[in-house]
Amino acid sequence: MTAVSDVSSDPIVYLNGELVPLSEARVPVLDRGFIFGDGIYEVAPLYAHPAHAGGRTPFRFQQHLARLARSVDRIGIVNPFDDAGWRALIAQVVAANEADGGLRADQDAIAYIQVTRGVAKRGHAFPAGIQPTVFVMVTPLNLPDAAQRAQGVRCVTAEDRRWLNCDIKSVSLLGNVLMAQYAAENDAFETIQFRDGMLTEGSSSNVWVAKSGVLSAPPRSHKILEGIRYGLIEELAGECGIRFEAREISEAELRAADEIIVSSATKEVLPVTRLDSQPVGEGKPGAVFAALYAAYQRAKAQEAREAQQGVENESRERITV
């Protein structure tokens, strides 16, 4: 049996109706996810709030579920669950891992959800009458460390050679995998890509540029995945009084930026202080990053308070009924 080398513990995962240890979870080789990369996925943070009895807050979860619904819809898979069903399922996997000791109540976690078209005799077009494969895994979230936030990270650049449906959160990630590997081989945190001389995104992150106090990002289109942080950062910029422009950004503009920031579920917001062999701006994290990072932490705290309020209201209603 092949060991899952980077998973130190053996989390309890959900696969097609069952909770099983990851080491025992199996899909048939004719699963179209394996054969064709015919599936989609979602990655959502679940923050721990030890002070709250309610425990864990899925952050921006409604938006993650909406994107999941859009992804399955885009590739013609019927969503296996409605929002309440997905929420209940994630809660069940979290509870199983907490009970099992794999996830401490005070640990932030990440929910990985994958839906493939299912298992069928190999043939490219959609087979009729098959059940989607559903996989859910909840593992500890390791956010960038304080040093990475304080110093920023180095990114490298490359031409974006991926397909033109980057807005679908597809598991067909070979283009992204090659870009992540390019970063790894060059001791960089991430590869930032250009298509036809214009900024698109990182291998697994969105990219933001600040110049003279104005924040910009490439517009939502088929050329990038609209991160759940995309709309969030737009909102946070507004809160902070930072002007935001969604517009095409040339390679030259990226290289002349005062600040570059990458964002994703697992990175939150992170400053890029070196691009290839050059410093970005003054070579240290800037004021726009600092404002957005603080606002992001406030947004987390706010959602935790709202979740806690919900739990309290629920129990009060239970008592009064």
* Backbone dihedral region for residue 116 (phi beyond 0: left; psi -120 to 50: alpha; all else: beta): beta
**Least distance to ligand PDD from the beta carbon of 67, Å?**
7
- Give the integer Cα–Cα distance in Å for 265 and 300: 12
Range 85-93, long-range pairs (CB < 8 A, 24+ positions): 86/113, 87/58, 87/61, 89/14, 89/136, 90/46, 90/58, 90/136, 90/138, 92/14, 92/19, 93/12, 93/13, 93/14, 93/19, 93/136, 93/137, 93/138
Tokens 């098959």 found at = 130
Question: Does residue 139 belong to the site contacting ligand PDD (CB under 6 A)?
Answer: no
CB closer to ligand PDD out of 119 and 293:
293
CB closer to ligand PDD out of 119 and 230:
230
**Least distance to ligand PDD from the beta carbon of 292, Å?**
13
Q: Kindly write down the DSSP assignment for every residue of 235-283, as one continuous string.
A: HHHHHHT--EEE---BHHHHHT-SEEEEEETTTEEEEEEEETTEESTTS
Token duo for residue 245: 């422009």
**Least distance to ligand PDD from the beta carbon of 123, Å?**
28
**Least distance to ligand PDD from the beta carbon of 317, Å?**
33
Count residues contacting ligand PDD (CB under 6 A)?
14
Catalytic residue among 169, 223, 267, 300: 169
What burial class does residue 272 get, using C-beta atoms within 10 Å of its C-beta: 0-12 exposed, 13-18 middle, 19+ buried?
buried
Question: Does residue 225 belong to the site contacting ligand PDD (CB under 6 A)?
Answer: yes
**Least distance to ligand PDD from the beta carbon of 206, Å?**
5
Tokens 């996997």 found at = 93
CB closer to ligand PDD out of 5 and 212:
5
306: helix, strand or coil = helix
For ligand PDD, which residue of 113, 263, 289, 296 counts as binding (CB under 6 A)? 263
Question: Does residue 228 belong to the site contacting ligand PDD (CB under 6 A)?
Answer: yes
Chain residues 205-224 in contact with ligand PDD, contact rule CB under 6 A: 205-206
223 given a catalytic annotation:
no
For ligand PDD, which residue of 13, 119, 265, 295 counts as binding (CB under 6 A)? 265
- Give the integer Cα–Cα distance in Å for 108 and 118: 31
Chain residues 38-67 in contact with ligand PDD, contact rule CB under 6 A: 43
- Give the integer Cα–Cα distance in Å for 285 and 148: 10
50: helix, strand or coil = coil
Stretch touching ligand PDD by CB under 6 A, among 16-24, 82-90, 152-160, 264-272 = 264-272
Chain residues 174-203 in contact with ligand PDD, contact rule CB under 6 A: 176, 201
Question: Does residue 300 belong to the site contacting ligand PDD (CB under 6 A)?
Answer: no
Question: Does residue 162 belong to the site contacting ligand PDD (CB under 6 A)?
Answer: no
Q: Enumerate the active-site residues.
A: 169
Interface residue list for ligand PDD (CB under 6 A) = 43, 176, 201, 204-206, 225, 227-229, 263-266
